[in-house]
Structure 1
Amino acid sequence: MDPLTQGVVGAMLPQASAGRRQVVAAGILGGLAGMAPDLDVLIRSSSDPLLFLEYHRQFTHSLLFIPVGSLLCALLLYLPIGRRCGLSLQRTWLYCALGYATHGVLDTCTTYGTLLLWPFSDQRFAWNTISIIDPLFTLPLLALVVAAARSRRPLLARLALVWALAYLSLGLWQRNVAQELGQALAAQRGHQPLKLEAKPSFANILVWKVVYENDGVFYVDAVRSWPEPVIYPGSSIARLDPGRDLPWLDPASQQAFDIQRFSWFSNGYVAQDPQHPERIMDVRYSMLPNEIDPLWSIELQPDAGPLAHVDYLVHRDSGGGHLQRLWQMLRGEGDSVGESRPGGG
């Protein structure tokens, strides 16, 4: 999630468990600790552009690391905040632990993937119930957390907790509806998906991106799950086959290994960019949910040496056209159909 949401949720849980006299300190400590795990973005390498993909949402987000990470936060925050607010080191650690513990779980509710069970598993858990940015989730929480601090009323933080759980539960239900629509869409095409995922589109849990694989091809569509199902057909693209798509690539080269790393990060949803054959893209993410245009990709160099890494590219063309079309989808308007048609490819 975005840093604001992580901080607000991190503040909410300690506030909800604190007494009236400690609700402000609990919120500050929990908010700062709730954002702390994302300091892993500082783990980067100038020579290896994919290093941050391996370490972001890794050990700092693991359930096993919560006691360690929260203790580090408590030691850093005790003198400037905890002690000044009359808290013991133990109480400071408790509020930091509650805030820190929310981070990995909240991130797992998004689509990016979180290594909750590190170091025992390298599986990236993603429950796909909420967008990385969702104002309808965050703003009510922010208002309640601020009000709880100003009024010294932990009850308001508990109401925020109820809202958070209710919204995430609603997202889970909407995700299941979107997956059912995706399965029905695949059946209409005569497909039996090898795997299928539904992911919330930007800043909402109403319009979902459905991606599934059938016979080595990814199909990408959008569905609006409520109040009545609306389908926005997309297109399709072949799954990456390095031997077929990149015949020049040395399987023993660093670039070939980087493709494997990127595929792990992308949960196998990788394809060759038809507009830029030297680029490998993550099919799961796009500005519009029924499009394949990637938000990020890696770029290979055919003339690179055996030890050269790929480049990592971010594509964020968030022009008004995209936002307008997404708004039309949210309203159930635009190029929708009752029966889907297969995309090309």
Structure 2
Amino acid sequence: MDLLTQGLLGANLAVTGAQKHEIRLATGIGFFAGMVADADILIQSEQDPLLTIEFHRHFTHSLFFVPFGAFIAAVLLWPFLRKRLGFPRLYLFCLLGYSLSGVLDALTSYGTHLLWPLIETRVALNIISVIDPVFTLILLVALIIAFRNKTKTHAIFGLIIASLYLLIGYAQLQRAELTALTIAQSRHHEIERLLVKPTLGNLLLWRSIYEYGDRFYVDAVRVGFFSSPTVYPGESVEKFVKTNYLDRSFMGSILAGDIDRFSIFSDGFVALQQGRQDLLVDIRYSSLPNSTAPLWAIEMNPAQPDQHAQFRVFRSMSKTLREEFVALLMGSK
């Protein structure tokens, strides 16, 4: 999730292990430790644009890296806190703060390499968006009260409420997936792969992508808490096949390798942007939940197969797109 939420979760967790006189110190330590895992965003290369997306939320988010990540956080903080806290207590707070960084990201639609190095597959449970104001606010309010009152009870209570919110997200996901299956059945499609994920900042509006034949079908599903789901039919696009795009003699090239890397990152949900034969997009993400317009893609040049593909991001939204998203979210479209 976003850095703020990671820090808030880490702070609440650290507070649960603190004594009353340590609570405020543990808050800062846990907040810092909760964000340390995302330092992997600093792994970049000007020569290899895909290196960043390969290593963001990678080994630093693994459950097996938690003791080492906590130790790194403790070492970084030790020069500033050695006169106020012994290293064992500092490490404990860092361990608590760091402990669920990877798990939290695994609950999102982006996912993380939670079980690396045993399993290379990115775990993405799609229960919650990468940014969810309600979830963040729950953690923030709990932490503020715990900090002011110097009591861990409120932090624990906040973590319980946040967990219940995640359970609501899971229930919403099940309802959205069931609706997606119904959509496919109405089209007489037999789903080969299905992905349903929440849209940004909410548990009401979901994006459904399923594979049938040689195409991906994208739809929006609004799952109200007290109403029947609403379907907003979307677009479809032909799935990308590398052997149809590159000449056989280029299969061992740098570009072919980049296509494979991007396809693995996108879990195989890749297609050429309509009208752009040089843009390979990640179908999982779009500004609108029933659109195939990408949030990111790689720009390819088949005429130069020994050059790296360029990673492109398309995050700007026009006023029209924002209004349409809100209409879908509110169920007024």
TM-score range for the pair, normalised by the shorter chain length? over 0.9
Cα 1:280–1:248 shift into 2, 3 Å: farther
CA distance in 1, matches of 2:328, 2:311: 31
Mapped partners of 1:25, 1:264: distance in 2: 41
1:65-80 to 2 correspondence within 5 Å?
A: 65-80=65-80
Q: 2:168 aligns with which of 164, 167, 170?
A: 170
Q: Name the counterpart of 2:3.
A: 3
Q: Which residue of 1 aligns with 2:314?
A: 315
> Matched residues, percent identical?
41
Map of 1:338 onto structure 2:
none
Aligned counterpart, 2:86: 88
Alignment-derived partner of residue 25 in structure 1: 25
Structure 1: which amino acid aligns with 2:312?
A: L
Report SS of the residue matched to 1:111: coil
Deviation digits for residues 270-327 of structure 1 (CA, Å, limit 9, x no counterpart): 00111211010000000111111100000111321x4311010000122222222222
Q: Aligned equivalents of 2:249 and 2:28: distance in 1?
A: 52
What does 1:119-138 correspond to in 2, within 5 Å? 119-138=117-136
Aligned residue pairs: how many?
Answer: 331
**Are the aligned partners of 2:255 and 2:302 in contact in 1 as well (CA < 8 Å)?**
no
Q: Say whether the 8 Å CA contact 2:108–2:125 is kept in structure 1.
A: yes
- Give, in angstroms, the shift of residue 84 of structure 1: 4.1
Name the CA distance, whole Å, in 1 between partners of 2:275 and 2:99: 42
Kindly provide the amino acid, as one letter, of the partner of residue 109 in structure 2: T
Alignment partners' CA distance in 2, 1:263 and 1:63 = 25
Aligned to 2:181: 183
Cα displacement string for residues 78-137 of structure 1 (whole angstroms, at most 9, x for unaligned residues): 2313x343x321111111011111110000011112111111211100000111111111
The answer for the alignment partner of 2:143 in structure 1 is 145
The answer as to whether partners of 1:245 and 1:272 remain within 8 angstroms in 2 is: no
Flag structure 2 segments of 5+ consecutive residues without an equivalent.
none
* Deviations, residues 197-218 of structure 1 (Å, cap 9, x unaligned): 1100011011000010011210
Deviation at 1:246, TM superposition (A): 4.3
Matches of 2:243 and 2:319 in 1, distance apart?
Answer: 39
SS for the counterpart of 1:183 is helix
Structure 1 position 76, deviation (Å):
1.6
- Which segment is superposed worse, 248-257 or 123-132? 248-257
Q: Distance in 2 between matches of 1:332 and 1:312?
A: 34
Structure 1 stretches of 4+ with a deviation exceeding 6 A read none
Aligned match of 1:343: none
Alignment deviations for residues 218-274 of structure 1 (CA, whole Å, 9 cap, x no partner): 000000112321001001001101232445882121101100000000000000111
Alpha-carbon separation, structure 1, partners of 2:274 and 2:250: 21
Distance 1:193 1:249, change over 3 A: farther
- 1:329 aligned partner, one-letter code: L
d(CA) in 1 for partners of 2:249, 2:65: 39
Matched residue SS, 1:204: coil
1:242 and 2:242 are equivalent in the alignment: yes
Is structure 2 residue 223 aligned with structure 1 residue 230?
no
CA distance in 2, matches of 1:147, 1:326: 35
Alignment of 1:155 onto 2:150: no
**1:17 is paired with a residue of what secondary structure?**
coil
2:94 counterpart letter in structure 1: C
Query: Counterpart of 1:185 in structure 2: which amino acid?
Result: I
Amino acid paired to 2:199: S
Structure-2 separation of matches of 1:113 and 1:202? 14
Q: Shift in Å at residue 145 of structure 1? A: 0.6
Give the partner amino acid of 2:25: A
Contact kept, 8 Å, 2:107 with 2:124, in 1: the verdict is: yes
In angstroms, what is the RMSD of aligned CA positions? 1.4
Secondary structure of 1:77's counterpart equals: helix
The one-letter code sitting in structure 2 at the alignment partner of 1:330 is L
SS of 1:234's equivalent in the other structure is coil
Residue in 2 that maps onto 1:114? 112
Letter of the 1:124 counterpart: R
Structure 2 CA distance, aligned partners of 1:78 and 1:253?
47
2:41 paired residue number: 41
Structure 1: stretches of 5+ with no match in the other structure = 335-345
* Alignment-mate amino acid for residue 330 of structure 2: R
Go from structure 1 to structure 2 and tell me whether the alpha carbon gap of 1:174 and 1:297 turns closer, same or farther (over 3 Å shift).
same
TM-score by length of 2: 0.96
Which of 215, 218, 221 is the aligned partner of 1:217? 215
| Worse-matched range after superposition: 199-208 or 50-59 | 50-59
Q: What letter matches 1:313 in structure 2?
A: R
Scaled by the length of structure 1, the TM-score of the pair is: 0.93
1:58 CA displacement = 1.1
Rounded to whole Å, the distance in 2 between the matches of 1:278 and 1:326 is 28
Residue 265 of structure 2: aligned partner: 265
